Structure formats: C-alpha cells, structure tokens
Amino acid sequence: MSRLLKYKWAWIIWALLFAVIEIKAILDDDKGAGDYTLSHFVRRAIGAYKTSPKMNSANWAARVAIGALLIWLWPHFKVLMGIF
C-alpha cells in the first residue's frame, strides 16, 4: 500500500470518527451540562459563554492557541493550493 493511500484512509477514518462523535453529542439526551459538540466545547474553553466563570489564564491560553491555529491555517492552505 502506498504512503499516500495510507494517509488517505487515515484522514477518511478520522473524518468518520469525528462525525460519529459530533452526531452522538447532538443527539445525546443527557445534556445536563449543555451540548458537547466541538463548537460548544471550544466556547467553554475560551470562556465565551455568559455563564462561564471569569476569564482566567487557561481561557486566554486557549484563545491564543486557537488564534495561532487560524493564523497558521491560511498560509498552510495557500501552499497546498499551489501544490494541487
């Protein structure tokens, strides 16, 4: 099996697992502490809910990490577009 094919299958499996987790979180009837989708988890991590406790260093670290990821993604995808 070629290296490219191995990574292709790894990404397909990752996407399927992600979809299973998101669907389970959306359909979960036991939502006592709220929704458990990725977007809600990230909002909790960065302290974006009004019900969240006061901003702390962990919230700011999460915001910086997400910001750095978003800044990195732009040139990353731009380079990939040049390849394909």
Q: How many residues does the structure list for the chain? A: 84
CA 78 to chain centre: 20
> What residue ranges do the domains of the chain occupy?
1-29, 37-84
Q: pLDDT per residue over 15-37, tens digit each? A: 999 999 999 988 887 766 667 88
pTM above 0.75, yes or no: no
pLDDT level of residue 52 (50, 70, 90 thresholds): low
pLDDT at 69 (0 to 100)? 93
Q: How far is 8 from 43, CA to CA, in rounded Å?
A: 30
Q: How far is 33 from 48, CA to CA, in rounded Å?
A: 15
Q: pLDDT per residue over 57-69, tens digit each? A: 888 999 999 999 9
pLDDT at 48 (0 to 100)? 81
- 54: Cβ contacts below 8 Å, ≥ 6 apart: 47
Average pLDDT over residues 41-65: 82
